[in-house]
Structure 1
Amino acid sequence: MNHDTTRPSGPRGVVSSHSVFGAPCWVSLTSRDLDATQEFYGAVLGWRWRSGKLGDRFRIAMVDDTPVAGIAAVASMWQMAVAWTPYFAVPSADEAAARAQERGGTAAVGPISFPPGRAALLADRDGAAFGVWEGELFADWDKWQQAAPTFIRLHTRDAFDAAIFYGEVLDWATERPDCCEVRYEGGEVVLRSQGTVVARIESGALGAAPDPTIRPHWQIHFTVEDVTACVRAAETHGGSVLSKGSEEAVLRDADGAQFTVVRA
């Protein structure tokens, strides 16, 4: 791999995946019904919507003028589970997918071209799904972090084993300039990009558990002003509440996708 030290930008000055490689750069939801999904998340998280460059099956969630998440109505077409998935920025989707498979992971979709980039949907060796993205980012990384603060946590069988897998696939904690830093803090593996905590990995998930909420998976956390209001809106619009407190709630949308809201 070419370990360049530049921070290239895409057209119109949008930062490319080379500049924040290894870090989460996008979150995407598979859906069976775009209209219902847009209505649900518009009510719960206040998102507005626009069409993307990828056709009628895709929508982009907006906070003010910043894209913050994507929805793809491909769950039925590709026989995929309805779920939220984090995408990590990489210099080469093909190389990242090959590395994942060499280390016991699997490739569910791709790598395939999705202008303005290239993507693959993968799973680690414990079955947790994640994606990689190469190319122009949907939004400047700093603006994306500020517009809709998103945090991801991997619930997995063995945090150290998972950190080794992802580190080798995504070039974490390498000699390459600007790579993500990995530390063990408070019983978890903590990932930082440019000084910002962007992910955590914790042990304890059970690979053969019948309940998918305790099998290895990446959980998407959205920061909100009012957790109670989000819970109420989710229930009103056909969702369900898996757990709730004053600071945090785990919700399931009307299509079955699980996510967490956390008070800002």
Structure 2
Amino acid sequence: MIIANPAAGGVGADLVWQIVRRCGRPVSVRWTAFPGEGTDIAAAAANTADLVVAVGGDGTAREVAAGLATAWRAVPMLIIPAGTANSLYRSLWGATPWAVALSRALAGAPARRLDLARLDGRLVLSGASAGFSPRVTHAAKARGTSYRAAIEEVAARYRPYPGRVLVDGITVHNGSTLLANVGGSRYRGGEFQLLPHSEPDDGLLDVCVIGGEHEVASILPLTTAGTHLNRPGVVYARGRVVRIERTDGGPLWFEHDGEVLATDRASRTLTVFPAALLMITAAESAASAA
């Protein structure tokens, strides 16, 4: 089963036809018509499909993952990257072309059981963040600009917020906050390796908090190589439950998988959902191989 999102930037009939042709067998294709439909299609596909291919970006992948993770029958999933960021595909496959990934999946490559996170009745796949990142995501979507252009725009006027982050009930950060990222995926925004040590199947959520003393222009380039962790004011932790708070009671800007949530809360809590999803990836992690 192929589930394609026509609203994703790189998805079109030509790409889907290439995927169908490479499958070399009869395959069903479903196009999503509205946000959230990918979840329903995936849940229904789990009754009969032996592989579900999500064609789109990180948001499309999350919808399909949510449907498969809650289905009665475990069916492996493969991502074909065709969105704006494609962060999770990069985390799982690196620079491997999608055609190679598809060939491996069709040849029976083993699937890994990836962790998800629970958030207010939602399932999180790639990751979630508070502060600077959701402001950038909002600006990019509202103005139809690239993520890079939105970073420059938001950085010029962004002010850190007073925040606290707790991991398994222990405070790991309390003070001025540029951003807090939880995952999941090592990469966010396509190129920023905020969680360089994250393993998607170790039963834990990785957390990176960058303090408000850092300027976006100086700290963000370091995240592309994952070399930001040794800087003062940067905290990295792991745990099963992560709570992110805005301590002055103001609205907390928050997103997950590229979807900006309503700014009607001052805190958000994520809980790991271990081994929730079968996913075809480039290789097993150390945790899986052990």
- TM-score bin (small chain): under 0.3
TM-score by length of 1: 0.24
The structure with the largest helix share of the pair is: 2
Q: What TM-score, normalized to structure 2?
A: 0.23
**Between Structure 1 and Structure 2, which shows a larger proportion of strand residues?**
1
